[in-house]
Amino acid sequence: MITSTLYLYTETPLHAGAGSGLSSIDLPIQRERTTQYPLIQSSGVKGKLRAALEGSRDHLTPAARDMVDSVFGPSTNGGGSEHAGALLVGDARLLLFPVRSLNGVFAYTTSYDILNRFKRDIEREPKAAKLDWIIPEAVKDQVLVTTNGEVHYDSTIVLEEFSFDTRADKQVDTIANWIAQNALPNLGTDYWPNKVKTSLAILPNDVFRDFVLHATEVITRIRIDREKKTVDKGALWTEEYLPSDTLLYVPLYATKGRKKASQVTEQQVLDQVKILNNTYLQLGGDETVGRGLVRIRLS
């Protein structure tokens, strides 16, 4: 088995729905049960990867159709129980979450918990390359920022309406540089990598959890009665979105083709996904109103 990591950068708000919720939000996003961190379940990511590679299945050559089936498993119309796919796709997990800042417009926030989970996921496979940075020690009630940060002033950062003490740390510089070079997709200009290098903020775990719970984007939507030009009865609801400029990562694992007598190698499986490198995917709901547009990068 060989491993890789797929990075997803949201360029428009993304709604990966969890159905109905118990809060005041009618249509909340998917979240982890224990941490309440937002995520996108692996089935949705895998299905979208397959759809992007497969396109119109009828137009594929027999060899291309066989390769798609080797990577993702046979289609349900062609014997979906014959064998499993050779690509194992994890959930899309948070790495960076944008939060409104008094200085620098917004900060790319993360936490000690998020970084430790990311490091564990990246280095899970024994032969995987180790990250060349060290996660700083957690400091209670203090936000760690880059030494050339633009989101704090003196020793204070204001996120949303909350003020925190800050400490500049060279390890944050190292982490920000690594993310900008290795995880951020090509977004067209140097602005975004430079933004990560100057706007990364490592928050205390509880503070970060509160922001990802309460600083997501919530939009009220309606449906208009065409004749009366007023809101249809009962057609008023709220939807939750992951905001633009969120960075997520998806662990990928590739095995040899599982079809009997298959000659497909682990590397060939990952090479199929690499065809999509630095392209766009649409994830989640509300596609027709421009939601869920993400740029991808495969490490």
DSSP 126: T
Which range of 78-87, 241-250, 269-278 scores highest in mean pLDDT? It is 241-250
Q: Dump pLDDT digits (tens) for 39-69.
A: 999 999 999 999 998 876 667 778 888 888 8
- The string of DSSP codes covering 64-121 is HHHHHHHHH---GGG-TTS---SEEE--EEEEEEEEEBSSSSEEEEEEHHHHHHHHHH
Q: How many CB atoms lie within 10 A of CB 121?
A: 18
Which strand (E) or helix (H) includes residue 53?
A: helix 42-54
What are the residues facing 165 on neighbouring strands? 142, 156
Global pTM reads 0.91
pLDDT one-digit tens code per residue, 224-256:
877 777 777 767 888 999 999 999 999 999 888
Q: How many CB atoms lie within 10 A of CB 3?
A: 21
